[in-house]
Structure 1
Amino acid sequence: MSTAVAVALLLGVLAFAVARPWRLPEAAAAVPAAAVVVAAGLVPWPAAAHELALLGPTVGFLAAILVLAHLADAEGVFGYAGAAAARYSGGSPRRLLAIVFVIAAVVTAILSLDATVVLLTPVVFATASTIGARPKPHVYACTHLANSASLLLPVSNLTNLLALAATGLGFLTFAGLMALPWLAVIAVEYLIFRWFFADDLATPARRRTPAPVRAPRFALAVLAVTLAGFAASEPLGIHPAWVALAGALVLAGRRLLRRPAGLGGNGRSREVWSLLKAANPAFCAFVFALGIVVLAVSRSGFGALVDRLVPHHADLPGLLAMAALAAVLANLLNNLPATLMLVPPVAHSPGLVLAVLLGVNIGPNLTYVGSLATLLWRQVLHAHDHAPATGEFLRLGAVTVPACLVVAVAALWLGLRVFGMS
């Protein structure tokens, strides 16, 4: 009975997050479900408090990086990237696709996948329109790379941060091991996109010179320093959340100081309120609550079944099995619950933990429900009257996900041998 209740609550929370009736935030279902889990004794209060304490730094980073991405957008970083993409594409949809791949991969790695989905996707729409290209290949690239290109850094995806402590790896070692899988996946996705969207990419070129846009040098410099800070702070024991917060405070302080004097305190109050909204406290509450609900599932019979399916050796077959299991579970339960369930049983093996991340970051490109970022991307497309075709999305995922998982696992296996961790 406890297993049925825990699984039903988790599925209900995820279904609510997908449908979002009356546009209520995901936390509207997740927080009551977490309260039920604790009240019913499925998770003792001390265990729930311990889970909240473990998730605290990760959720703090999520809030800080959302504010940092919001401020980067307000400073014109994404607009500048779109203008540069239009200019260097020379009016060619194929060249624009290559540029979008590069920009989306970099944005995802540094500012996390939510920035790519929410902030970059609308810019890509406008950029494709500027050169007269069909936007479909380019906006599909945004969602695919938001997931698969989030492999590189611990800060690229919430799943990475949730798993980082279990790997026992430092920031640079993590990045070094994931660099080859990251590059391999991006290359395979690009080749498949060129083939899958060949007709869309064959639209005639429109050679127009977009109006030049000034580079937001201060914001770009802050982002560069913040990225360097992520790597430099790790040996000092400083959590990435503090680095992201510092970068956000620098941009926010400059923005508040530059407010016109005539706006006075009201203008600054509105600016502060916009920053609080950008931190998305409701979504942060959802992550906390989801962690408790997933803990109930992990402590149930379903969690025991998953534990029995987990491989125990980080050889090539074990890495493949682990990545495949993680991808399947991500598409059944969403990638955040899959990460929370799969990491503890393999915490003894950094290689298997990284294989989990391959599965939960690449696998969500198969279905809409694989990650919340994909659901956000779908909302962005609906807002632009360009709703994705479900059949086409599934066909693209069926081609890209297996191929990307295979090359990513092979690259990870090679990297583990190079680092002497096989």
Structure 2
Amino acid sequence: MIAALCSLGALAAVLGFATVRPRGLPEALLAVPAALVVLATGLVPLHEARDETITLAPTLGFLAAILVLADVTDREGVFTWLGTRLASACRGRPPVLLALTFAAAAGTTAVLSLDATVVLLTPVVLATTKTLGLPPKPHVFACAHLANSASTLLPVSNLTNLLAFAASGLTFTGFAALMALPWLVTLTIELAVFLWFFRRDLAPRPTPQPDDGRPAPVFTLVVLALTLAGFATGQLIGLAPGWVAAIAAAVLGVRALVRRETTPWRIVVAANPLLTLFVLGLAVVVQSVSDHLLGGPLGALLPETAGLPELLLTAFVAAVLANVLNNLPATLILLSVLGPHPATGVLLAVLLGVNIGPNATYLGSLATLLWRRVLGRDAPGVGEFTRLGLATVPVSLAAATTALWLVL
């Protein structure tokens, strides 16, 4: 009992600090000491921590590369150009702008990960709505929701996917093929709910004619297209997604350095090594919680077969756990419980739960908390966020899980 309470206390402290981030201090500042305490007290054996670090290393290397790629892409003006195209294409019609924002957020999340949608696309969408004189709420909410729910498509879309991908036994294209229908179902339901929920904000109104802005950053867009193609085909020649992302980041990074659009230090900052330390520290603390508290009950609850009732149970358990503990520790715990060779359907149902489920509450994912910080005073209140979450999450999660079952 003492071990369970100590493990839970350490996790609560780490998540609380990461949520509040007093004075903007990095999440790793508490996660790393907490992990060291867990190791020093024997709550997690050193060999388990070593094995976990080795397992996570390729995933975290990919994460650093994709963060650099997203940062350089932003410096090349891709998101500014995208904002002008959204403003021009909608012709002042709020529902059309919302649909286009859904498409932009879903594509950004799928290819460049949810962090790019939160940090880079959200400010552009906010500025676009203000330029057009439209209520920003439906469109910035779309960025938050799709940063989570649209991250189910590709292994590279979310850290949770990357953590599970190694255990799935699937190829990149095999993963995408199984998740494509659930992804499309989720987007369709979310868009329908948004059009109803924000129907007053989406009423027609006169808007100024936007400036077409800068020309398309063709070189960067071509590199991104080749990167996506590399993700899909790289495994055929033994090239892991992490190496594809690293090559793309190097190409754009060197180009930006030559053109003096960035500096070596900015590239290091973009890679966010402190986030890597945070994930490693969190993984050790979560392992302690799994070993001493949640592993047994979850192991008894989670199914081993992939029938529809079993997949629904798995997805909703994962969603609840994500909203209680945050989706990253929830994923780590569930992967630990499922073991090294889980049933493919059960594993993918877990990902649906930890990616779609966090839209129910502000605490469901670190991406949502970051989105709230990015918006500052423009961030919606907790009540409205929760009401929209309750309107979208249960039905979209159930429908996406049913779609997964049909594909399987």
TM-score range (shorter-chain normalised) is: over 0.9
Report the equivalent of 2:357. Answer: 363
Deviates more, 1:87-96 or 1:295-304: 295-304
- Tell me, yes or no, if the aligned pair for 1:91 and 1:205 is still in contact at 8 Å: yes
Q: Give unmatched runs, 5+ long, in structure 1.
A: 260-267, 417-422
Corresponding residue SS for 2:303? coil
Q: What SS does the corresponding residue of 2:155 show, helix, strand or coil?
A: coil
Which residue type is aligned with residue 201 of structure 2?
Answer: D
With over 3 angstroms needed to count, the CA separation of the structure-2 counterparts of 1:209 and 1:24, relative to structure 1, is closer
Question: 1:94 deviation in Å?
Answer: 1.0
Contact 1:166 1:344 in 2 (8 A): no
Contact 2:69 2:249 in 1 (8 A): yes
Provide the C-alpha distance between the structure 2 equivalents of 1:413 and 1:205, rounded to a whole number of angstroms.
45
Q: Which position in structure 2 is the counterpart of 1:17?
A: 18
8 Å contact kept, 1:38–1:44:
yes
Q: CA deviation at 1:115?
A: 0.1
Percent identity of paired positions between Structure 1 and Structure 2: 56
Q: Could you list the runs of 4 or more consecutive aligned residues of structure 1 that deviate by over 4 angstroms after TM superposition?
A: none
Name the residue aligned to 1:265.
Answer: none
- Give the 3-state SS of the residue equivalent to 2:156 in structure 1: coil
Partner of 1:40: 41
Matched ranges for 1:265-414 at <5 A: 271-346=263-338, 347-382=341-376, 385-414=377-406
Tell me the SS of whatever aligns to 2:200: helix
- The one-letter code sitting in structure 1 at the alignment partner of 2:292 is S
For residues 239-273 of structure 1, what are the alpha-carbon distances to aligned partners after superposition, in whole Å with 9 as ceiling and x for unaligned?
211111100100011112223xxxxxxxx9x7111
CA contact (8 A) 1:110 1:227 kept: yes
Q: Distance in 2 between matches of 1:205 and 1:155?
A: 40
Q: Which segments of 5 or more consecutive residues in structure 2 lack a partner in the other structure?
A: none
- Give the conservation status (yes or no) of the 8 Å contact 2:106–2:146: yes
TM-score under structure 1 length normalisation: 0.94
Cα distance, 1:232 vs structure 2: 1.4
Whether contact under 8 Å (1:133, 1:203) holds in the other structure is no
**CA distance in 2 between partners of 1:212 and 1:2 (Å):** 59
Residues 336-362 of structure 1: CA deviation (Å, up to 9, x unaligned): 111111124334300000000000000
What do the CA deviations read for 1:178-208 (whole angstroms, capped 9, x no partner)? Answer: 0000000000000000000011111513141
Q: Residue 234 of structure 1: CA displacement?
A: 1.9
DSSP-derived class of the 2:81 partner: helix
Match of 1:132 in 2: 133
User: Is residue 355–residue 409 contact of structure 1 (8 Å, CA) maintained in 2?
Assistant: yes
2:295/2:337 contact within 8 Å kept: no
| Aligned partner letter, 1:303 | G
The 3-state SS of whatever aligns with 1:214 is coil
Matched residue of 1:293: which SS? helix
Which structure 2 residues correspond to residues 29-68 of structure 1 after superposition, within 5 A?
A: 29-68=30-69
Structure 1 partner of 2:202: 201
Q: Contact 1:331/1:367 (CA < 8 Å) preserved in 2? A: yes
Give the Cα separation in 1 of the matches to 2:84 and 2:381: 28
Range 203-212 or range 216-225, more displaced: 203-212
CA distance in 1, matches of 2:140, 2:360: 16
Partner AA of 1:202 in structure 2? A
* 8 Å Cα contact 2:35-2:282 kept in structure 1: yes
Query: Which residue in 2 is equivalent to 1:263?
Result: none
Once the 2 structures are TM-superposed, how far is the Cα of residue 371 of structure 1 from its aligned partner? 0.6
Quick one: distance in 1 between partners of 2:397 and 2:300? 22
Task: Give SS of 1:206's match.
Answer: coil
Distance 1:144 1:96 in 2: 16
Helix, strand or coil at the partner of 2:227: helix
Q: CA deviation at 1:373?
A: 0.3
Distance (Å, rounded) in 2 between the aligned partners of 1:236 and 1:21: 46
TM-score when normalising by structure 2:
0.97
Does the 8 A contact of 1:130 with 1:210 survive in 2?
Answer: no
CA distance in 2, matches of 1:276, 1:66: 10
CA distance in 2: counterparts of 1:203 and 1:34, whole angstroms: 53
